Structure formats: structure tokens, C-alpha cells
A and B are shown apart, each in its own frame.
Chain A
């Protein structure tokens, strides 16, 4: 073969595609023990036995090529060569979960129809052996006429054999033939011919597409980006009406005839010892998805998470804080007083340094989320939430993107690609940013520190406030989903069909990988975006210079930033915020954690560069012009509530724009979230004031 081949990895959700991809290419695709981890294609390179580069594409999991959701559509479109940004794969690595051969072979069966060389990989052989399933690999290979390779992707077993097979110049085409059921065969032939002559497709792709047209309910989606040509459409319609009149269930017949062919294969090659007794997963599930205990477990997990955030982060946080102070002191000793020195101490250390102190908490959060993802708990959380989500008008499946949004709304919004119904997907996208993401964590922590200054306060009070904020965001998300499903995006609650994977011990490697990846992103963000914003903000807070003799506060008020804050003050005074906070609100439209760095810059500018690190003290000392305390407990709470609801994240807006393919929805989302934030804060602050807080 002259050109190096392109391989696509195709298989059911959660069968180990990304694990295999990582083992082959050395890349670090996200791996997790729940269906729907990968939702976009990812390309990598493997060097063959002869040192030739081979392209490997990791794809989202799919149960069928007749795609039902956007993530499955990605897989279908790449395989059928409909994506302009991706070369059509020449060969396919079909990976199946050996513990469930029959269901997994359904997709393989469809892929074999595409007439491309296929290598079949039997993954999870360790679990199959545990379950007493034995597979006659050689026989399967002989029956299908393609290489079949048993492997354990997670332990690196079988990878060498697989690499050898991938490196082969010639791969046989499958000789497996199955008979298209007689009443349908002429229709397939006619559609295929029409797709070749009118649609310009290659014959085998045309046959596969003809079969897909018949098993899919919505022919527009099957034809992908380019709509089906009119002639083929007409042929399809005439056959369908003929069958309807005769009472032929063409789609059902096609599926069952595939399963029949697969059943014959499977019964020949797979043998299962007696159905095993209760597995460990069953015993765990008896508690975890129990209608009562399930909720207790969920509550315990959450409490443990927040408790750890407060308990274990304090020490490293203090070290970073001390480091910042030492660094600022060192710079002060080194440089003469002046704007440049203040820029470094107030702008850079006051801004970026303050943000970095929250790294320990963020690491702890991602550690927990990583555990949930790699043990298999995610799918269980979706399961116990299904009932509740049904009342809202969504189903349990929507809860997985929402849960991911606790880390960051961006992967959460991407994960909505697993949702079948476009309206339900949109509703989930609209409410996902209400789940408190890791960028809110610094804001909450700062406010909680201002609320409970000093170590005398019990940790339970801090944890309690934190849980309250997370709960508020979650309730808000459900409330708005309920509202949208009843007004803008009406529809029946969708039915959930979701696979629950067996529990696995968390793979520390995967968890650490996620943690370092996220920490890296966080630090990179701090070192670029937040650094830039801090410097600009410092400039805006330092210029124009007020006449000599002005106090630091007068200078700040006189500056560009101060003026902007003053401009906003009338709008935010009813919710208890002054112009200092106003500056923070404006700048945190870039990203929420910028609020903290902004407060760092604003208050260290105001304190005249005395003490950069103890932002908490500066907040407690802040006053209204009439001498009232600015950060009263009520204002701290109101500010947290504002951050729970307001949409302040450029990256999220950009992702929503891309995923919804319009500006309408991100703008609507920004407006409704920020509007709701103001209204709810108004209610909280005014009733709090009336009650005398």
C-alpha cells in the first residue's frame, strides 16, 4: 500500500475504545467508566512495525450506525466519509466488550457491510474470564474471515499482537455474508442503485446507506449534512407506503435478521458457564440505587467532598499564600517604589497569586469527580436521578452532563451530545452552567472566609454554606429546565435507556491524569488570561492619576476602573454591592474566578501596597462611604447567590454558540441567567435587610 492507512476505532459505548487509543498512540484521551465519555473524534498516530506512521481515529461510542444522538452521528459521519475535516478511514478497528458479545457484534455487523478491512478486537477478556465466558477466537476469526485479537486494553495485553495486525499491508475483507430478508432485499438493491447513480456514492457505501435508510426513522438525519437526493427519497417513500399497506415491519425485520445472524455466530464461538450468582456490582447496586439508601450515599459523597475541600486544602493554601507574600516582599526589597513595582506586587501577585492559592481546592474537587467517573458511579447517579428528572421533563441521562458541569460547564455542554432529543439537549445546555463549576469555588471560598473570619468557626458551618450554594445552583437548574420544558421547548419527557457499567476500582492513573490536566489548564489560565486581565485592570485602576496628595481610595475612585464601577453602582446598590464589587462583576464576565483576582488588585491598590496576601482582611475592613461595613454576612451570601446564577464565562458562551450553531441561545442564556441572578439577589438582600440582617 502506497499511502499510510487511516484506522477508525469503532465500538459500543464504554467498551474501552479510548483506553485502546491511548495504548496505541500514547495520547491521553479521557477515559471513564460510563457510556458517553468521548463525544468528539480525536486523531493520533501510531508507528507501524516498519516505522510507517499510521493514523488512528478515536470515536464516540455508538450502539448502531443508525445514529440517534449527535455523538453517534459523529461516528457514523466519520465512518461514511461525510466529515470534511476528516479523511474517510480506510480500515476499521472494531472493538467489542467480550462479556457481551451479541449486543456488541450488532454494530460490527453493520460495519462489515461497509466493505472495508476490519480487525476485530475482543476487549475486556479479563472480565469475560471472570464471568466464565470462553470465546473460541480462532473459530470466530475463521467464520468472519478477519483477524480477531483478544486483549485487555487497560492492562496493555494484546496490544503487540494488535500492532502487528495493524501493520499488515494486506488485510482480508470479511467473507461473512448475511441474507437481507426477502421482502426487503429488492428495496435495498433499488435504493443502492439510486444512491450510486443519483447520489454519487461508492457501491458498498451505498448499500450500507440503503440499509441505514431503512432502519432509521428520520431519513434526513441519515443522509447527514447533504440531504438525500429527491429520486432516492421518492423510491424510499414508495417502498415504505407499500410495506405499510402490507403490514411489513421493515425496520424491525432488518434488526432481527441481523441479530439472528449474530446469534448463530455467537452460539458457535462463545460459551458461558452457568449464569453466575450475584456479582459484586449487584451487591453494591443493591445499596447505591436503592430508593432510600441511594440518596443517603449521594449525600454522603457530597458531604465528604466539601468537607475535604475545607479540611485538606487549608495547609497548602497557606503555603501558597506565604509564598506570595514572600515574593511580594522580595520584589519590594529589590525595586524602588514606583509604578512598575506596584504593577508586579499589586497587579501580578495580587491578581494571579490570589487565584493560585485556590489550586489545592480545585485539585481536591477534580480528584473526587475523577473517582466518581472511574468507579462507575456516574451512571448510578443518573439512574437514581431519573425519577426526579422526569418530573422536570428530562431524564436521568441529562444528569450526567449536569454532573460533569460541577467540574466545568464546557465538558458538561459537550456531554449533552449523548442526548437524543434536540429539544431536551438544548434545555440541558441552557441549564448546565447553573451547576456550580470549579471557577465559582474561589469566589465561594473567599466569601466564606469573609463570612467566618478566623479559625474559631466550626468547619461544619463553612461546609453547610458551601453545600447550600451547590444545592441552590442545582435546584435552579432543575427549576429552569422545568420552566423551559413547559414554555419554550415543549415536549414529552424522553425515555431513558442507559447501560450501567460494572463497578471498577478507580484507576489512580486516570484520576491523576485528569487532575493534572485540569490543574494545568487552571494554571495556564491564571498565567495568561488572568495575568493579562490583572495587568490591564491594574492599569485601569492606577490611571488616570489623581492630583498629588490624593488618598489611595480617592485615586482608585478617580481611575478608569473606579469610574466604571461607579457607573454600575446604581444597578447593583439594590442588591447590596458597591462600586468595588462592581469592578469585580464587570471583569468576571471573562471568567468567574477573575472576581477574586480583581478584588485582590482593587483592594491591594487601595491599601497602598501594604499587604497583598491577606485579601480576607482587606474585605473585612472595607466600608461604605458612610462607614457601614461593606461585606456584611448578608452581602457575602448575596454575592455568592449572584455567582450561583449569573452567566459569567466567555468560554461557555463560545461553546454554546458552537454546539447550538447560533448566537441566539448563548445570548438568551446569558440574559436569563444574569437577569435571574439580579432578581434573586434582590429578593435575598431586600428581605434579609428587612429582617434586620
Chain B
């Protein structure tokens, strides 16, 4: 799947395992957005989901980050295919 103008947004928690998404939007309160932005979850960054249904393990720029389900729900991504 390549990037299309009709991108289909989904929360990070719904991304299938081993799929990669591009972060499009951070919802949630400003404090949360601020922190995850500072940790590198900025808009247009690529993130790969590694595993997890409840708590989610994802890979971002070579580091593994664990996210609570509710945190992952507030990160909206556009799927860009799997690596």
C-alpha cells in the first residue's frame, strides 16, 4: 500500500502487528501530546507496531516503546505497508 491522498486513519492500537504507520494526528490532552511528541512521536514519523493487543509494543526510530492501550488509542496513524 502506498501513500494515497485518501488516507485512512486508524489508532495505533488497531494497526496489525508488524505493520508500519505514519503518525498523522495526536489526540488526547495537551500534556500527553507534549510528552509523546518530545519522545519522538511527532507528526509524520513512522512507527511500527511489534506486538500487543492490550499494552502495545512499537518501534520508533530504533527504540522499542511500550504504550498503554489508551495511550496507543490516542495516536492516529495512516498505514503504509509492512516491513
Contact = CB atoms under 8 A, between A and B. Distances in A.
A496 B51 contact: no
B57 A285 contact: yes
Given A386-B54, A496-B71, A100 B37 contact: no
Given A64-B35, A66-B34, A499-B66, 4 more contacts: A106-B38, A259-B37, A285-B57, A495-B71
Given A100-B62, A496-B66, A396 B35 contact: no
B21 to A, nearest CB: 15
Contacts of A275: 83
A251 B65 contact: no
B4 interface: no
Contact of A63 (B31, B38, B67): B38
Interface residues of B, number: 34
Nearest to B33: A252
Contacts of A497: 35-36, 39, 65-68, 71
Given A255-B37, A495-B68, A289 B57 contact: yes
Query: In the complex, which of the residues A99, A217, A383 has the most CB atoms of chain B within 10 Å of its own CB atom?
Result: A383
A251 B33 CA distance: 9
Contacts of A217: 30-31, 34
Contacts of A382: 66
Contacts of A103: 39-40, 60-61, 63
Nearest to B70: A495
Interface string A488-501: 00000101111111
A256 B45 CA distance: 11
A184 B11 CA distance: 30
Interface string A465-498: 0000000000000000000000000000101111
Interface of B: 30-40, 42-43, 50-55, 57, 60-71, 74, 83
Which 5 A-B pairs rank lowest in CB-CB distance, beginning with the nearest?
A: A495-B71, A386-B55, A496-B68, A103-B40, A387-B54
A428 to B, nearest CB: 16
A499 B65 contact: yes
Interface in A170-209: none
Interface in A404-444: none
A68 interface: yes
A81 interface: no
A291 interface: yes
Nearest to B60: A103
A569 interface: no
A387 B50 CA distance: 17
B42 to A, nearest CB: 5
Contacts of B83: 275
Contact of B34 (A255, A272, A383): A255
A379 interface: yes
A395 B68 contact: yes
A99 B40 contact: no
A496 B73 CA distance: 12
Nearest to A395: B68
B42 A383 contact: no
Interface string A127-141: 000010100000000
Contacts of A215: 34, 38
A285 B55 contact: no
A186 to B, nearest CB: 22
Given A63-B39, A256-B43, A396-B55, A499 B71 contact: no
Contact of B55 (A68, A99, A282, A496): A496
A379 B55 CA distance: 13
